[in-house]
Amino acid sequence: MIKQIAHIGIAVKDLSASIDLFQKLLDSTVGHQEEVVSQKVRTAMIAAGLTTIELLEAMSPDSPVAKFLDKRGEGIHHIALEVDDIGAELTRLRSMGFVIIDEIPRMGADRCRVAFLHPKSTNGVLIELLEKVVDAEEEQ
């Protein structure tokens, strides 16, 4: 079951400059920053009312975010939907014909298990499903 929109991911060329811009725009501050080495990306989370903006900067030219920036430029990269049980949600969506990119959820930013749906099955929008990790043992 989808709980809420967790965040909107925005691909940026310069994380530092974008943090400054969005902090001013949203009258907010960065709540969390990290490098997600498996995705070759640096992230910064900025509160925006009841949701969050996730700024994404590529760490290498072969990262998914770098490829997105080369093809489309800066802008909305994905919408993340929080779920209670990512495995059950992937099963449900797969049975309805959605194309799953990550058959097995992996660790993403901010201690969340994540999996993506292919944009060709979601009207061109990259959808991230995320489940917050409660117990440190679940990370392994």
pTM of this structure: 0.88
Residue 99 has pLDDT above 90, yes or no: yes
The CATH number covering residue 111 comes to: 3.10.180.10
Domain that holds residue 33: 2-139
Does 108 or 136 have the greater pLDDT score? 108
**3-state SS string for 114-127:** EEEECHHHCCCCCE
- What are the CB-based long-range contacts (under 8 Å, 24+) for 21-27? 22/46, 22/53, 22/55, 26/53
Span 7-36, pLDDT tens digits: 999 999 999 999 999 999 999 999 999 999
Domains held by the chain: number: 1
- Report whether 54 contacts 62 (CB < 8 A): no
